[in-house]
Structure 1
């Protein structure tokens, strides 16, 4: 896709509230780092009280994935998770509005050789991300260390779409962006030896996936990871970004390639992907986006695990 360009139509009065939102977001992003963390935690506590549907989804996910924890332990984990969700909004502002120099002071990176070695051989890399709350700022960190092409889903609001793309692409030199449906573009990039960011850990239905276990639950898992690796002749290299305690910054870890992918068996590859993701979630459960309905697609005859959250959504639609 071509780089985002400003258009006069974005100044239409209907978009003024969005511009005001971004002006406020920009100002908040200029605050000292620890202040932003504190604001983020406060916002997370507010979300915990007001976002009842998302709270219900997160509670159900934690109950399914960590049945060994007591109710009190899961309640504490839920609280820390919403703190993390609030901080993620502050980190998005940091990623989009702070300078690369400011950001570079706040992270360390390990394992960058796992990205560089395949590309020295002319081999592409599927850079496997996961939906931790550090996703946005982590993508900025990676873009500053390595040329990474990204996946992109347009936003309905054109001003938000413009600012989102500008924010995401500002730290990466010579990076390209592909719409999520542009599979051919991604494959061409991989065959050219480029690194392409991809996150396979959300429920996109079963039409392009398989049920693979995650925390002992059947999870609809996209098979695109192994298909990209096979058709693009690429390696699958995971990475993870952890927010450190006490405002100490971030630790970025690039892991060795999952060499078993592609195995020729898409179910086996999906199992390997979920096993890796589950291991990372067990290491750092409080910073994952548990507010997403990871288990919304169910095998035939299996009960809906988010029934109460669905009822609340339907009630809100009826009021409208």
Structure 2
């Protein structure tokens, strides 16, 4: 039997009012409150709250130290520590602003974002091609997805969370501009089907999905297990592959987003070449705003045979 594509149901269900979700509702209410505040008030509060997070988020911060130390071996211990603390600050700052994506107007969101390089998107769409947008796990990635979805049809894929209310809230936000969010169980076939329907999507190539079918490829100051599937997807779906970088400018109080030129399909011929091309793109995006990458992820969990584990 053919596997059916699954997507998150963002319709409200009375079961989300169960007492076990009351704590989550309180957290959402707080996020809504911050979502309506102007950035000039919200950002200073976020910086203060970041100090509290640094005192309690010991495990994620240790993972970040390991990642940064291996990815940037040229940094001193003090420089690593500064980047970790800056990273936590940006996490809190972006987190407290995200509710605006659901409750504020399109005009407001567009004012909050500076969009560069959209001519590459327009050229691909004029040529009748969908786009696979490449973006690693950065704190403002939800902003990037919704901003593009305001211009063209878009789908995405996300991992389900144990908390049903959080699933509903986060995926309602992600689909608020008419997009669809697939569960991971839907697999690559669902994404290919969307490409053939002329729908574009974001693909996050930096997550460590284990050794199965992955290729060990240079990545910043180390090597990383990378799953090379984008090239074949693009070819099968007649799509262009475009990297996207985004970061929050604290002075301008704007998210600066840039769609980069498409990757040459010839650079993704063969698994090793594709893995190298993807890692180079991820390096470019991270290097643009290194303090805004999700360093707490175990992105270097899978190591080459014989090499000691990092975590």
Question: Given the two structures, how large is their TM-score scaled by the length of structure 2?
Answer: 0.91
**Aligned match of 2:59:** 53
Q: How many residues align?
A: 304
1:151 aligned residue (152, 157, 160): 157
Q: Deviations over 1:111-132 (max 9, x none)?
A: 1121222222222211111211
**Aligned match of 1:179:** 183
1:218 aligned residue (199, 223, 226): 223
Alpha-carbon RMSD: 1.9
Unaligned runs of 5+ in 1: 307-320
Once the two structures are TM-superposed, the CA of residue 53 in structure 1 deviates from its matched residue by 0.9
Alpha-carbon separation, structure 1, partners of 2:289 and 2:170: 27
**Aligned match of 2:300:** 295
Contact 1:123 1:194 in 2 (8 A): no
SS of 1:213's partner is strand
Q: Deviations over 1:209-235 (max 9, x none)?
A: 211110131211111222321322211
Alpha-carbon separation, structure 2, partners of 1:260 and 1:70: 38
Alpha-carbon separation, structure 1, partners of 2:52 and 2:180: 37
1:123 aligned residue (129, 150, 163): 129
Contact 1:48 1:79 in 2 (8 A): yes
Contact 1:59 1:78 in 2 (8 A): yes
**Aligned match of 1:97:** 103
Contact 1:124 1:189 in 2 (8 A): no
Contact 2:135 2:285 in 1 (8 A): no
Alpha-carbon separation, structure 2, partners of 1:207 and 1:136: 28
2:236 aligned residue (231, 236, 250): 231
Change (3 A) 1:245 1:8: closer
Contact 2:34 2:42 in 1 (8 A): yes
Alpha-carbon separation, structure 2, partners of 1:283 and 1:140: 20
1:74 aligned residue (75, 80, 86): 80
**Aligned match of 1:195:** 200
SS of 1:105's partner is helix
Alpha-carbon separation, structure 2, partners of 1:36 and 1:208: 44
SS of 1:253's partner is strand
Alpha-carbon separation, structure 2, partners of 1:206 and 1:43: 38
Give yes or no for the alignment of 1:242 onto 2:247: yes
Contact 1:244 1:251 in 2 (8 A): yes
Q: Following superposition of structure 1 onto structure 2, how do residues 11-90 of structure 1 map, counting pairs within 5 Å?
A: 11-90=17-96
SS of 1:291's partner is coil
SS of 2:150's partner is helix
Change (3 A) 1:13 1:73: closer
Once the two structures are TM-superposed, the CA of residue 20 in structure 1 deviates from its matched residue by 2.1
Unaligned runs of 5+ in 2: 1-6
**Aligned match of 2:140:** 134
Contact 1:123 1:192 in 2 (8 A): no
Question: Given the two structures, how large is their TM-score scaled by the length of structure 1?
Answer: 0.89
Contact 1:226 1:261 in 2 (8 A): no
Contact 1:125 1:237 in 2 (8 A): yes
